[in-house]
């Protein structure tokens, strides 16, 4: 099983763990087949939300209702729908070897099922062709937190088994995947079904940070009018796992022999360290990993959820039938690991009253030993190292060096890691904070209707690393930094 390391730039690993930057890192240190890339996602990048037949997604409804803290929307985002050709040129300038993007279900199949939108099909074909023409490997994400509003209205989206299609009938997500495999699979070999189902389930159905914003008191960040935080996250994640398995089975049965590709899934990850060496804190750190990683990955490995989840969650955790377990087990060709930061955890007695996912974990967590602990599983609360709007982003370069060095160490120790993707290629509409958070290699001016791009120092560093196999990277960095300061 292969792993693709995909890293949103949220926290500096060196700052969190005191790791020294790796010196002397070169592109040629990595295996020739190892791939370096960058990524975006449809709602965060494309904009053009009401153009050429696209229907609303749950994120359109969510942001247009003023649910973002700054009242921003992704209506224009980085305007990638109109600027993709220029952006591919920037990818060439950056010497990217691969690019990962997601497909908007609402753009490709506006009614959620049935007829394919010709304009949507044309856009994705054009983008893929542009990438292939320039020798950039194409990685496609089928679902990156967005979902057609029409299907959410019909049956509450991921909460319904109608999304799955695990039996003979091909239900909505599998049918959507079928269209993508059929139309783009001759040029796409790496398919990721769902991005961060563990975070999506929580953000959308527990704390209401994400669209469609369902929750129940006292667990949401706001007073939700619909939802049940104690059960819906588990139902949603369960259906995501089944939908992933269904799409994977379809690809293997219908397309894999001819297209020679693979299907994987991306999981949110943060490693856990016990706050103390006490037995209860050590167990809490293990329990954290079972809830964060095991929730999604254990069924794909063994066909069932981790024992501690079944014990703590009880009847609120859905069960796999015997036939479902057989289909789910082994339904992955690779795993994408999205790593943000690591956590220190303390044991916490299991609440006796009404619980959601965070309470079920039965622990306190914090991003460092000096930050007060919290039982809440709210990723944004741990983003203490924020993005910035400077072109001279030297901290991001140190972050990249540190992570890439750790990845190289893992490869040399025998880990089957196949690639490394930077989040994000350019500044996009971030789900936590709209255009205010900037993690891109390229700066986007969101105050300018033309959305101009500017290379940050990190883009120039990454380009030099990939172009020169590291031989002259430091020299180029020094000269580039000098120019940036002039």
Q: Which residue has the tokens 């693979």?
A: 262
Residue 357 located in a structural domain: no
Count of structural domains, the chain: 1
CB 70 within 8 A of CB 126: no
Pair type for strands 272-274 and 417-423? unpaired
Per-residue 3-state assignment (H helix, E strand, C coil) for the chain: CEEEEEEECCCCHHHHHCCCCCCCCCHHHCCCCCEEEEECCHHHHCCCCCCCCCCCEHHHHHHHCCCCCCCCCCCCCCCHHHHHHHHHHHHHHCCCCEEEEECCHHHHCCCCCCCCCHHHHHHHHHHHHHHHHCCCEEEEEEECCCCEHHHHHHHCHHHCHHHCCCCCCCCHHHHHHHHHHHHHCCCCCEEEEEECHHHHHHHHHCECCCCCCCECCCCCCCCCCCCCCCCHHHHHHHHHHHHHHHHHHHHHHHCHHHHCCEEEEEEEECCEEECCCCHHHHHHHHHHHHHHHHHHHHHHHHCCCCHHHHHHHHHHCCCCCHHHHHHHCCCCCEEEEEECCCEEEEECCCCCCCCCHHHHHCEEEECCCCCCCECCCCHHHHCCCCCCCCCCCHHHHHHHHHHHHHHHHHHHCCCCEEEEEEECCECCCECCCECCCCCCCEEECCCCCCCCEEECHHHHHHHHHHHHCCCCHHHHHHHHHHHHHC
Residue 30 in domain = yes
pLDDT at residue number 388: 65
Tell me whether residue 229 is in a domain.
yes
List the pLDDT tens digit at each of the 486 positions of the chain: 666 666 543 332 332 333 444 446 889 999 999 999 999 999 999 999 999 999 999 999 999 999 999 999 999 999 999 999 999 999 999 999 999 999 999 999 999 999 999 999 999 999 999 999 999 999 999 999 999 999 999 999 999 988 886 554 458 999 999 999 999 999 999 999 999 999 999 999 999 999 999 999 999 998 899 999 999 999 999 999 999 999 999 999 999 999 999 999 999 999 999 999 999 999 999 999 999 999 999 999 999 999 999 999 999 999 999 999 999 999 999 999 999 788 999 999 999 999 999 999 999 999 888 777 665 554 433 443 745 679 999 999 998 999 999 999 999 999 999 999 999 999 999 998 999 899 999 999 999 999 999 999 999 999 999 997 654 445 544 554 444 443
Please, which residues have CB within 8 angstroms of residue 246's CB and are 6 or more apart in sequence? 164, 165, 166, 170, 171, 173, 174, 327
373 found inside a domain: no
Domain holding 164, by residue range, is 2-343+386-485
User: What pLDDT, on the 0 to 100 scale, is given for residue 369?
Assistant: 80
pLDDT at 8: 44
- For the record, the structure tokens of 262 come out as 């693979």
Residue 144 inside a domain? The answer is yes
DSSP β-ladder status, 442-444 and 453-455: antiparallel
The CA angle 244-118-132, to the nearest 5 degrees, is 70
Within 13 Å of residue 411, how many CA atoms lie on the same side as its CB? 21
Is 360 part of a structural domain of the chain? no
- Distance (Å) of CA 444 to CA 145, 306, 354: 22, 42, 44
Tell me the β-bridge partners of 315: none
Q: Is the peptide bond before 218 cis (omega within 30 degrees of 0)?
A: yes
Q: Compute the distance between CA of residue 410 and CA of residue 412 in angstroms, rounded to an integer.
A: 5
What local confidence, expressed as pLDDT, does residue 374 receive?
A: 63
Active-site residue numbers?
Answer: 196
Q: How far apart are alpha carbons 348 and 360 in whole angstroms? A: 10
Return d(Cα 458, Cα 398) in angstroms, integer.
9
Cα 84 from Cα 166, distance rounded (Å): 35
Which residue, 208, 180, 187, 87, is CA-closest to 128? 187
Among residues 10, 11, 5, which one has the least CA distance to residue 30?
5
Q: Is residue 410 part of a domain?
A: yes
Predicted confidence at residue 222, as pLDDT, reads 87
How do 262-269 and 190-195 pair as beta strands?
A: parallel
Token pair belonging to 294 = 């095991």
What is the spatial distance between Cα 120 and Cα 184, in angstroms, rounded to a whole number?
12
Strand 343-347 relative to strand 272-274, pairing: parallel
Q: Scanning the structure block, which residue is given the tokens 């005191």?
A: 18
Residue 234 domain flag:
yes
Find the CATH number of the domain harbouring 170. Answer: 3.20.20.80
């Amino acid at each position: 099983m292969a792993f693709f390391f995909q890293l949103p730039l949220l926290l500096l690993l060196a700052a969190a763990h005191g790791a020294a930057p790796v010196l002397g890192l070169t592109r040629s240190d990595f295996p020739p087949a190892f791939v370096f890339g960058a990524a975006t996602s449809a709602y965060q990048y494309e904009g053009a939300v009401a153009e050429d037949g696209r229907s609303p997604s749950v994120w359109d409804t969510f942001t247009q209702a003023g649910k973002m803290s700054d009242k921003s929307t992704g209506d224009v985002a980085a305007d990638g729908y109109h600027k993709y050709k220029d952006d591919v040129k920037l990818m060439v300038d950056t010497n990217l070897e691969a690019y990962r993007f997601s497909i908007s279900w609402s753009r490709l199949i506006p009614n959620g099922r049935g007829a394919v939108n010709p304009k949507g099909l044309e856009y994705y074909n054009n983008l893929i062709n542009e990438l292939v023409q320039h020798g950039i490997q194409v990685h496609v994400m089928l679902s990156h937190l967005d979902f057609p509003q029409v299907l959410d209205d019909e049956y509450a989206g991921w909460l319904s088994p109608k999304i799955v299609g695990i039996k003979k009938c091909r239900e909505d997500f599998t049918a959507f995947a079928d269209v993508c495999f059929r139309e783009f699979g001759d040029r796409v070999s790496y398919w990721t079904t769902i991005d961060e189902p563990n975070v999506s389930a929580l953000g959308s159905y527990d704390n209401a940070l994400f669209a469609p914003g369902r929750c129940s008191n006292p667990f949401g960040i706001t007073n939700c009018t619909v939802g049940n935080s104690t059960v819906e996250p588990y139902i949603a994640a369960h259906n995501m796992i089944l939908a992933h398995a269904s799409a994977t089975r379809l690809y293997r049965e219908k397309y894999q022999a001819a297209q020679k590709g693979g299907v994987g899934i991306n999981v949110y990850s943060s490693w856990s360290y016990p706050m103390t060496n006490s037995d209860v804190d050590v167990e809490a750190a293990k329990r954290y990993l079972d809830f964060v990683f095991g929730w999604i990955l254990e069924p794909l490995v063994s066909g069932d959820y981790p024992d501690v989840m079944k014990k703590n969650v009880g009847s609120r955790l859905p069960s796999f039938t015997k036939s479902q377990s057989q289909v789910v087990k082994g339904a992955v060709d690779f795993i994408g690991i999205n790593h943000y930061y690591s956590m220190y955890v303390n044991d916490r007695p299991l609440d006796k009253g009404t619980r959601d996912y965070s309470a079920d974990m039965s622990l306190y967590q914090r991003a460092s030993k000096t930050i007060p602990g919290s039982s809440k599983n709210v990723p944004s609360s741990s983003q203490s190292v924020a993005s910035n709007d400077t072109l001279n982003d030297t901290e991001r370069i140190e972050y990249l060096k540190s992570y890439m060095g750790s990845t190289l160490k893992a490869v040399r120790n025998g880990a089957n890691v196949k690639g490394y993707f930077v989040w994000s290629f350019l500044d996009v509409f971030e789900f936590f904070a709209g255009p205010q958070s900037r993690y891109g290699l390229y700066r986007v001016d969101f105050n300018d209707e033309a959305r101009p791009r500017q290379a940050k120092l990190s883009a120039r560093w990454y380009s030099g690393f990939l172009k020169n196999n590291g031989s002259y990277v430091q020299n180029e960095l020094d000269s580039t930094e000098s120019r940036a300061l002039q």
